[in-house]
Structures are given as C-alpha cells and as structure tokens.
Structure 1
Amino acid sequence: MATSDEALERGAMKAIAWRLLPLIGLGYLISYMDRVNISFAAPTMNAQLGFTASVYGFGGGLFFISYALLEIPSNLALARVGARRWIARIMVTWGVVAMSMALVRTPMQFYAVRFLLGAAEAGFFPGVIYYLGLWFPQAYRGRAISRFYIAAPLASVVMGAVAGSLLRLDGALGLHGWQWLLIAEGAPAVILSLVFLKFLPDRPGDAAWLSVEQKAWLEARLAADNAAVAAPDHSPFRALLRPEVLALVAINFVYLGPYYAFTLSAPTVLRGSTGLDATQVGYLVAAGGLTGAAGMAAVGWSSDRLRERYLHLALPLVAVAGAFAVMAWSPSPPVVMVAYLAMMGGYFAVSGAFWLAPSEIVHPRAVAVTVAAINGLGQVGSFVFPWLWGLAKDSTGGYHTGMSLLPVTFLAGAAIMLGLRQARRGRIAAPA
C-alpha cells in the first residue's frame, strides 16, 4: 500500500505530465514539421524554381546558422521574461515565416526566408529542455523529455500522411502543391501560440492545478537533485569550457548535421533507392516516424530505470551507422526500407537520451546557457552537412557519395560518447 508521501509524489508528477507534456509536445511537433517540410516540397519546388541541389542544400542548412546564433540569447530571454510569453512569441513568428516560404521565387529569397525561419524558431527546443527541468526531478526527466521529444518522429508521421494530399492541391486558387503544403503546415503554429499564452504556467508556483503540498514536495525534491550536482561556476558561461560540455557539442555536431543532410532530401533519396512513388514514400516516412517514436520511448524509459545515459547514446549511434551503411550499399529495395526504419528508431533513441546529460554535468544555474550552447553550436553541423551534401550531389550526379560517408560521422559520435563515459567513470572512482 502506498504511503502518503508516495501518493503525493505520484499525484504531483501525474498532474504535471498531463498538463504540460501534450501541449509542449504538440508545439515541438509543429516546429519540427516546419523546419523539414521542404523535403517533401523540394522535388517540385526545385524543378519549378530552377534550384540546384547546391542551392537547396545551402538554403536548407541556413536555417541552422541563425538558429545557432540566437539560441543562447533566446534562452536567456526566456529565463528572464518567462516561458509562457517567450515560447508563444517564438511560435507566432516562426508560423508566419514558415508560411511566407510559399512566396519565394529566387535563390536569394529562399536563403533569406530559411535564415529568418531559423531566427524565429531559435530557443524553442533548448527553452523547453530548461523549462522541463523546473518541473521534473532527475528520476522523471528522461521519461518527460522522451515523451515531449517523441513529437519529432511523430512529425514524420503527420508529414508522411498529409504531404501527398497537400501536393495534389496543385493549381487550386492559383497555387502550386508545394505552396499549399508550406502554408497549411505553418498556420498551426500561429494558432497554437495563443493556447500556450493562456495555459502554460511559467513555474510550479504559478500552477493552480497543483496543491500547496505538491508544490512543497516538488520544490524540496528539485533542491535535493540540484545539491547533488557540481557547485555552480562563478559565471554560467564558464560551464561551456568544461571538457564534458565540449564533448557533447562535438557529438551533437557529428550526429545532428548528417541526419539533417539526409532528412532534407529523404523523400527524393528513398524514391530513387526503393522505386516507390511520392505517396508511398510518404507512408514509408510515416512508418519511420513510428519506429523513431518507439526507439525514443524505449531509451528514455530504460535510461531512467538504469540511471545510465552514455551507453544508451553510444549503442544507438552505432546502430544508425550500420543502418546508413546498408542504405548506401544494398541494391534491394525491401532491405533499404527496413534499414531506413531501423535508422529512424536508432536516431531518435539517441535524441531521447542526449538532452539528459547536461543537467547531470553542470549546475542548474548553468543549464539554460549550456543546453542552448550545445544545441546552437551543434546546429552549425546542420548547416555544413546539408551544404556539402548538395555540393556532392551536383558534383557526382547522385546521393551515393553522401550516403556512404554518413556512417563515419555516427561512429565518430559513438566513439566520443564512449570516451566521455570512461572519463566520467574515472572521475567518480577517483579518491577524494
């Protein structure tokens, strides 16, 4: 039979999870969809506007340059003005910019809108990671992050399911199908921003749906977790120079950028390697979203249960490397499809555990800056790799060279993670 303290804990965490995670997850689903939906628009958009693979890759990656530059300023603003108002501001601006992508006609316009979209969305993801740290103790954080972050693979389900129908609106009201896709998938962000503004509390103390006893328990539990982390540096920015933080930046760089290089061209690549039509590729991408969601949920649950983060990151990185190798070299369409599903499961398994590490390395006062820096600096790879991917496509006439190099980057990430694990174990084992 549960004690009163256990009942208090269970009730508080259940209320927080149900009140916050569905809303935040929906917001992230829309943000992820709006940053990569050009992958479905690309075949017809590039053909009609005369964009080469290099133009498309450079423009696709520009999103991440402005995103990276504004990550830390955005997170500092969120900590100052509160999550409710700042996240709502982020959503309305990125929704408007995402819809304006339908108006581009030239490469320079494409570059400008992608750059502005990154600037508009900057801070949403690290802001949410910081925000969840104000509500969820360490023992619950893995599950909380994986349940909100599961929206990223589910965005692939939504895009895969609706992209074909939106593209078939070609000619309606004088718009191309790719324009309908971009407009229809950008509008929900503007609408949802109003919901965030009304229903998202800034801190537990503002939550009318938590009792006084639940708030007191949560405050004490979070304080105990914080006390177990290393004492804060004089300035939160000093945490960015710690070797563990730099290692996480490097891992984020070598696994995030290559994934986006592939994802921004995934429908085109999959059509060429499997022989499926656009609608069938949409269904395959949707199925990949489901395997990604399953991988993320499983690793988030397991890493919390075992309180181990590093192997939960290294092993999926190795699995992703293997899946990309199969996709690059297998001549069999069914094998390629299975490898794609496995890659999505492994990639999002990494994503489900990666953002648990910063809060276990630096003091909570430095988490906002640290998460923003890791995400922002890592996102530079999301500019570099899509650009190089496009250059390789234009130079060789195909995607095989780019696909063949992807396994190397993910194996490099796994090696860094295993090194970080060894260093952390040695530090814990060292005598005081």
Structure 2
Amino acid sequence: MGLLAFKDAAHLVSRTGLGAEWDVIKQLEGRSKQEAVEWVLNPKLSTLKSAPPMTPWLKLEPMRLTDMKSRNSAWAISQREGKRLQAWWVEQMLATRTPFLERMTLFWHNHFTSSIQKTLQPSLLYQQNLLLRRHALGSFAELLQAIARDPAMLVYLDGHQNSKDKPNENFARELLELFTIGRGYYREPDVKAATQAFTGWRVDYQTGKFVIRPAEHAGGQHTFLGKTGSFTGDAIIKILLEHPRTAENLTEKFWLAFVSNRPDQVLIRTWAQQLRQSSYDIKGLMRTVLNSDAFWMPANRGTLVKSPVELVIGTVRMLPYPRESTQEMLNLCRLLGQELFDPPNVKGWKGGEHWISTQTLLVRNAFLSKLSRGNLNEKVASGVAIPDVPAEQLVEWLLPVKPLKPLPETPGARRLVRSLLLDPAFQVT
C-alpha cells in the first residue's frame, strides 16, 4: 500500500473530521494508508465541555402533567435549555481535538433520532448524547440494546407508555423500520409482537431512569419474524441482530455517509457479512470502509454534499477568519436544515443532495461570502493560519475535485482562498 500524497491525506481528513484541517493533513501526509486510518480510528482523548445547566427530570416532568400555566412554563424552560444544549454541542465541535468522534456521534444522532420538541427534556437528550459518544466506535449490538433502554428514546417514541393494557407500537415500528431491518422485511404482526415484548419498559417517574415493570409486561406466545416464543425486548433485539438485513441496512448508511452517493450493493453485502461476524464491531466496519479501494477511488471524491454542520463548523475550524458567535452558527445550521437535537422527524435528516435547494444554496453562499471577507492575515483565537504554499496546493487542500469556476488571475492567497470557498466544488467532499 502506497504512502499518502497530500491530496489523499486531505480526502481522509475531510471525510472523517470537521473540515480539512491543514495541520492534521500534514500529520498524515507521507504515512501509509493503513497507518493513517489507524490514526483516525484511535484518537487521543479530548476533554468534553461541561454540560450547561438543565432542570432535572423530577422537577420538570411534574410541571408538564398539571395545569396549563405549569405546562406552558415547562415548555418555555425546555426550549430555553434546549438552545443551551445545542450551543454546548456546537462549542464542543469547535473546540474538540477529536473531530472524528463528534462526526460519529452526529451519525448516530441521525440514526437514533430524538428531539427537544417531542421529549421536552434537554437533560435526557444530554444523557443520550453521552450514550452515543460512549458507543460511537464500539459495538452496534450494545448500542442498540442501550438505546432501547434510553429514557430520551422511550419518551420520544412513546415507549414509556407501552403497557399490556394500552400497547403503543411507535418504538417497535421504528426499531424495525429505521434502526434495523428496514421496510419490506417485516409485516404488521411482527410490529405487534415486538410491541408486546417491550411492554413494561418505562421511565421511572421519580428518577427519570429506565426501569422494567413486570406487572405491565404482556406475557404469552407471539410470532416474530418466523420465530415463536414468549419474548422479552432483549430477545427481539437479538433476533433483529441475527437478521442479515440489519447489518446490510447499517452498512449502506455508512457507505452513504463516508464513501459516495452511489452504493455498491455487492460490496455492501460483503462488508455487512463481516460486520455480523464481528459481533457488530463499529470500529472494525470503519476500518474496512476507510481501507477500501472504493473509499480512495478518485471517482468517489467530491460525491458527498457537506452537511450544514460540516460546512459551518468545518470551515471555521479550517481557516483563520473571525468566527461567528455560537448563536449565529446555530441559526445558520437551522436555516440550512440541520438543527442539532431537533431532526425533522423520526427518519432524521435525509442528507446528501437533500441538503441543497435554491434557498439553502443562497444561504450557504452568503455565509461563505461573508466569512471570507475576513482578514486572512489576522491571527484569531483558533490559532490556525493560511499556509504559505503554492496555489496548486491550496486548491488540493480546499477542493476535492478541480474548481468549476476560473481561478482569479491576480495572484494572492487571500483572493485565491475566497475564490475557492465560493466555488461550487467547496460544497462537496
């Protein structure tokens, strides 16, 4: 395996980080691909910012269950604290030394969606974020078991209301459709059987913690995906993990997030089989993806549209422009269609070409135009600086493919960088 040229290192950093940061690219340039991938997959620990003040479950939840005035007050508190939580994550992404972990946490946040507007419990969403971080590169099997017990998820998908006397199918349906095997591989009786298995999985009213209440569990024999038994929730999860479509579904999501917008179904099935054989080792799957010929193929570069987080956070991490305020960055991400802790629905953000519309493209260009008016010679808090290198290398650094617009004829790094930021090729990675 050959050593990484500069443009190859830039490709790896852009796809796995938050912005193609110059110093990181230079650290990986000249290493073997395998060594560089291991460097990405095994980052040094980075300090997590302290959590913002949030009202605990026991104080906030009773307010939502009493009179209208208390309910309105609870809603106002959750919205205010939700904004703080969003700002906390933006500031974490700006400051982190391990952007790959943030990117993986964001990947799982979009796979296992929960929102402020539905849960009205920012403290639970914070705990869910910590859960996603802990399992981000661990075992998907363990992550799935943990998310099924996660209080924010139980509230978001009404699992905490699922009892033998009043079954609620929301969590069971999304477990099958979105988290594991996907549409076309289950029937309505399977949803009902899974619903029965998860009855009694609740959130303790006093603590806001997960609890199983056996008295609320529906016993009896049920048939799920061709298997018959008296199932618990854990048994349902085990059956789903054994199903080939769970690994295939997950692997395809990784392909679309890290490789290209054109899935190779043969390769995806091969990787999925390896994933199942590894007991759903996420880091192992990422190692396979990042070492694959498909990941490094020139035809697959510039095929992924940058998400709003990648565009906004990534650009300000890369370049020495004066930064927008945290609130302005949050507002930009919202206008561009990606509001942290508040995805549009249970399916999360569609991503890909859906990030781009006539309206969002105008906002993207306005942001980059405004940002690049800053003084490139001005040292800012991030400590980054524009590298003193030939123009050709600046192009390789900032664009994954050749620029689509003519470069400025007048020389100068500041002018060139502004031109590259406003080139359509900067919108992709």
Global fold match (TM > 0.5): no
Structure ranking higher on relative contact order (CA contacts 8 Å, 6+ apart):
1
| Structure with greater proportional helix content | 1
TM-score, scaled relative to structure 2 = 0.33
TM-score, scaled relative to structure 1 = 0.33
